[in-house]
A and B are shown apart, each in its own frame.
Chain A
Amino acid sequence: MMRRMIIGLCLLLAGMWEIGCQHSELSVADYQKWVEQEDNPTLIQDKTMGDLIFSAKYKPRSYVAMLHAGTTQIPPLRLQAMEDSLKGYEYFTFKIAHPNHNTELLKLNLNQQDEYFARVEYYSFGIQNDFFLISGQDTIPCALSHFERTYGLAPHATFTLSFECQRKVHEPLTLLYNEKVFGLGLIALRFEAENLNKIPSVSFF
């Protein structure tokens, strides 16, 4: 009787361990799928401000390395080497969307045509100076910002961002954007440390 109880308890603990560690390791393909989920609460933070929705996706280094490799059939050593080369940087995808607007976001509340071109120029070059990342006590300027132009095909604006930053395990990250086009001011999106620490790792076995 006692033996059965001990075995049952062990099985229960093993089950709980399995559930608790569900996301701790994923295969390369599953990892990519997990990161690319549209509503991944671990990696995505968003904020509605007036008519606009600002969202940011934290891109783990392994994922960025996979994108650089361009394939899920990547040998472990190569992935590791690529990840090492990306060390010291944090990556995000930042999106500005207007849910009730069907045309290009840059054409929203436009007063004259010149303003459109000024916005294109700002989103392509100037916006980098308005992104910051807070990590611990440091406010880090954006190292790289890339605006993905859609030429009127999508009602949102998407930016790829990178920051020269090495996050400490206990520290959250806060992405700051000083919104100037629509006059909304500072938009902060905070990624809690506990969520970032839950990000699974890639398993090859």
Chain B
Amino acid sequence: MKFAVWIIAIVLVFGVGFGAGFLFQRGDHTAYVDTAKLYNDFEMKKELEQKVTEVQLSRKAQLDSLKINFVALSKKTNPTLEDRTKLQALESQYHQMQQQFEADNGKIVQYYTNQIWTQLNQYIRDYGKQEGYTYIYGGDGSGTIMYAQEKRNITPEVVAYVNARYKGKGK
């Protein structure tokens, strides 16, 4: 009799344990990442930002040197007809270049931003799959997540993961 009671007790304990484990497993495993921080801490973003800055600085230098010539010519006290024609040409060239550079700068920023988000999204998908998340929300301050417990913030882990993946490590 005593033996049967023990058996039933053991079966009950294991049954409840397995049931709870099963339910817990099925429960949604969710977390969020601070997307602004993730984006800013992503190595690829820093590298491309550096590239864009270099391109923009070199373009600005070209424009500045053109402007110096243009200003110097415009300050001439008794400009000849040739000077005026040259001045007009320089002015037109300056504005044309300025417009071209502004358009190109916008395009290059857009091109790199798309590259960064394509890679980030892929790495976050891989991270979610690898860590068994049901959802990973993006908390970008625009109302996607109004509140979350701090322990649900996985931004530091995701930043470390995406940077390792970008460098070619792991899977």
**A residues adjacent to B (C-beta < 8 A):** 45-50, 174-176, 183-186, 188-190
Contacts and interface: CB of A to CB of B under 8 A. Distances in A.
B122 A50 contact: yes
A48 B48 contact: no
Interface of B: 44, 47-48, 111-112, 114-116, 118-119, 122, 126, 165-169, 171
A189 B115 contact: no
20 contacts: A45-B168, A46-B171, A47-B168, A47-B171, A48-B122, A49-B122, A50-B118, A174-B167, A174-B168, A183-B111, A183-B114, A183-B115, A183-B118, A184-B115, A185-B118, A185-B119, A186-B47, A188-B166, A189-B168, A190-B169
Q: Is the interface of B mostly helix, strand, loop or mixed?
A: helix
Contacts of A47: 165, 168, 171
Contacts of B122: 48-50
B85 to A, nearest CB: 40
Among A176, A186, A189, A190, chain B packs the most CB atoms within 10 A around the CB of: A186
4 tightest Cβ-Cβ pairs between the two chains A and B: A188-B168, A190-B168, A185-B115, A174-B168
Contacts of B171: 46-47
Nearest to A186: B44
Contacts of A50: 118, 122
A46 B111 CA distance: 24
A116 B108 CA distance: 23
B126 A48 contact: yes
Contacts of B115: 183-185
Contacts of A176: 168
Given A45-B168, A183-B111, A190-B167, 11 more contacts: A47-B171, A48-B122, A49-B122, A174-B167, A176-B168, A183-B115, A184-B115, A185-B44, A185-B112, A185-B115, A190-B168
Nearest to A182: B118
Contacts of A45: 168
A190 B111 CA distance: 26
A68 to B, nearest CB: 29
Contacts of A190: 167-169
B169 A49 contact: no
A175 B168 CA distance: 8
Nearest to A50: B118
